[in-house]
């Protein structure tokens, strides 16, 4: 009864990357989403920043982030070749600066941690920071240069992935997946709002909404919505505002300013545990602008063109859930939290290994979905 080899639920950057890469293996792939490419992947800033986003306690995730960042240049080249579309990879590094003395002390600790992990970063004095980015506010203290923290234009990536996936034979359905179908003790497909699909393997890549799909094996999927609000601005002359991404720790608050080559500027982002709320609030917009202008006064003079809120898929340990579920015929690729764009290459690589060899690679094993479920064990072969 199977119509497809693989059903991918969710066409954000993760689902699309998987569909494209699995499509290239010659399998029959379908991807299902009611609002393709309009979730957190669309709202994102596109930073590929494993170094300056490194956080204590996240060591396994940092290792995965570094691996994926290293894979992005070749992933971007392959994607541009496959789609004939640019994805806006800018290999310019990123600068993280401190707003006050307390922020400075925190960044010194972060720098020590980066050095301890052997990450690619260097400490910069205030003077060096301003030499690197002359538009920085005069009051800015020193900071950390991460020469390998790059950026990609996430919306261009989504567009290119859509074309590449189609060209690799992936079929697209605009529909909501309501539930998984079970047959003979395995997942055999999905129920949509307007019909059913049958497939040997169903991959849940629906971001924060993954857990709302009925018929998933217990316990409930450990993914929750984490609201992010973000602004998009634009320079008046269409030239890049900065040489590189500038992040600031300003009075304990984080803000980032990502300069696109075409003059676009992304300022973000809040992180709010408020459930499924995607409203843009006055306070978030106000605080993002305040912190960005404090860090870089020139932001005040450019155009504000978009305010947006979206829901990231948060997980208990901030790391993704990638791999086979506790029931055959089902896998997960969700919970990427703030790192969906960054982790797209390694997530697709891990899922392709699962599809072709029956298990995820060793380097991906710390992110197996079963790690939050004492009672459940992942099957070794979902197919």
> Which residue, 193 or 279, has its beta carbon nearer to a copy of itself?
279
Among 199, 140, 136, which Cα is nearest to 171's? Answer: 199
Q: Is 271 in the site for a copy of itself (CB under 8 A)?
A: no
Restricting to residues 220-249, name those near a copy of itself by CB under 8 A.
231, 233, 236
Restricting to residues 115-154, name those near a copy of itself by CB under 8 A.
none
> Which residue, 92 or 281, has its beta carbon nearer to a copy of itself?
281
> Which residue, 308 or 353, has its beta carbon nearer to a copy of itself?
308
> Which residue, 134 or 297, has its beta carbon nearer to a copy of itself?
297
Closest distance between a copy of itself and the C-beta of residue 5, in Å?
Answer: 44
Binding flags for a copy of itself, 303-342, as an x/- string (CB under 8 A): xxx-x-----------------------------------
Closest distance between a copy of itself and the C-beta of residue 356, in Å?
Answer: 47
Closest distance between a copy of itself and the C-beta of residue 238, in Å?
Answer: 13
Calpha distance 367→354 (Å, rounded): 13
Among 186, 177, 173, 169, which Cα is nearest to 2's? Answer: 186
> Which residue, 89 or 241, has its beta carbon nearer to a copy of itself?
241
Reading the block at residue 223, the tokens are 């993914």
Closest distance between a copy of itself and the C-beta of residue 202, in Å?
Answer: 36
> Which residue, 8 or 299, has its beta carbon nearer to a copy of itself?
299
Closest distance between a copy of itself and the C-beta of residue 278, in Å?
Answer: 10
Among 332, 333, 364, which Cα is nearest to 61's? Answer: 364
Closest distance between a copy of itself and the C-beta of residue 281, in Å?
Answer: 6
Count of residues touching a copy of itself (by CB under 8 A): 22
Distant-in-sequence, close-in-space partners of 127: CB < 8 Å, separation ≥ 6: none
Helix (H) or strand (E) holding 190: strand 186-192
Among 356, 357, 24, which Cα is nearest to 164's? Answer: 24
Half-sphere exposure of 244 (CA within 13 A, CB side): 25
Give the DSSP per-residue string, 195-251.
EEEEEEEEEE--GGGGGGSBTPPSSPPS-EEEEEEEEEEE-TTSS-SSSSEEEEEET
Distant-in-sequence, close-in-space partners of 212: CB < 8 Å, separation ≥ 6: none
> Which residue, 267 or 322, has its beta carbon nearer to a copy of itself?
267
Calpha distance 258→244 (Å, rounded): 7
> Which residue, 301 or 381, has its beta carbon nearer to a copy of itself?
301
Restricting to residues 273-302, name those near a copy of itself by CB under 8 A.
279-283, 285-286, 289-290, 292-293, 299-302
Distant-in-sequence, close-in-space partners of 108: CB < 8 Å, separation ≥ 6: 123
> Which residue, 283 or 380, has its beta carbon nearer to a copy of itself?
283
Closest distance between a copy of itself and the C-beta of residue 138, in Å?
Answer: 18
Q: Please answer whether residues 163 and 84 qualify as being in contact, where contact means their C-beta atoms are separated by less than 8 angstroms.
A: yes
Calpha distance 52→74 (Å, rounded): 22
Calpha distance 326→185 (Å, rounded): 11
> Which residue, 220 or 286, has its beta carbon nearer to a copy of itself?
286
Q: Please answer whether residues 374 and 43 qualify as being in contact, where contact means their C-beta atoms are separated by less than 8 angstroms.
A: no
Helix (H) or strand (E) holding 260: none
Reading the block at residue 32, the tokens are 């299902």
Distant-in-sequence, close-in-space partners of 174: CB < 8 Å, separation ≥ 6: 33, 34, 36
Closest distance between a copy of itself and the C-beta of residue 234, in Å?
Answer: 9
Closest distance between a copy of itself and the C-beta of residue 267, in Å?
Answer: 8
Closest distance between a copy of itself and the C-beta of residue 248, in Å?
Answer: 15
Residues that bind a copy of itself (CB under 8 A): 231, 233, 236, 279-283, 285-286, 289-290, 292-293, 299-305, 307
């Amino acid at each position: 009864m199977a119509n497809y080899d693989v059903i991918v639920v969710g066409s954000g950057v993760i689902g699309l990357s998987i569909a494209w890469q699995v499509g290239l293996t010659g399998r029959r792939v379908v991807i299902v989403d009611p609002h393709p490419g309009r979730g957190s992947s669309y709202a994102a800033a596109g930073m590929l920043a494993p170094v300056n986003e490194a956080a204590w306690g996240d060591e396994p995730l940092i290792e995965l982030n570094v691996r994926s960042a290293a894979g992005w240049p070749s992933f971007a080249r392959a994607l541009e070749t496959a789609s004939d579309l640019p994805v806006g990879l800018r290999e310019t590094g990123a600068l993280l600066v401190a707003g006050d003395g307390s922020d400075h002390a925190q960044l010194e600790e972060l720098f020590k941690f980066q050095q301890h992990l052997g990450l690619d970063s260097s400490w910069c004095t205030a003077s060096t920071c301003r030499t690197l980015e002359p538009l920085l506010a005069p009051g800015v203290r020193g900071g950390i240069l991460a020469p390998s923290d790059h950026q990609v234009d996430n919306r261009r990536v989504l567009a290119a992935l859509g074309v590449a996936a189609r060209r690799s034979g992936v079929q697209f359905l605009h529909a909501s997946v309501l539930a998984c179908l079970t047959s003979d003790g395995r997942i055999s497909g999905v129920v949509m709002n307007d019909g059913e699909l049958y497939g040997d393997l169903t991959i849940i890549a629906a971001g924060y909404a993954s857990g709302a799909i009925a018929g998933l094996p217990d316990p409930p999927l450990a993914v929750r919505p984490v609201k992010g609000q973000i602004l998009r601005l634009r320079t008046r002359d269409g030239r890049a505002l900065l040489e590189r991404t500038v992040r600031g720790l300003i009075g304990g608050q984080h803000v980032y300013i990502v300069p696109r080559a075409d003059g676009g500027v992304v300022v973000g982002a809040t992180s709010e545990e408020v459930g499924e709320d995607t409203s843009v609030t006055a306070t978030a917009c106000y605080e993002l602008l305040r912190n960005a202008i404090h860090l870089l006064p020139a932001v005040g003079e450019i155009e504000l063109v978009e305010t947006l809120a979206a829901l990231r898929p948060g997980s208990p340990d901030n790391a993704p859930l990638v791999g086979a579920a506790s029931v055959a015929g089902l896998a997960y690729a969700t919970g990427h939290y703030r790192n969906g764009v960054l982790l797209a290459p390694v997530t697709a690589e891990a899922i392709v290994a699962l599809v072709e060899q029956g298990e995820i690679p060793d380097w991906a094993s710390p992110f197996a979905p079963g790690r939050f479920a004492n009672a459940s064990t992942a099957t070794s072969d979902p197919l």
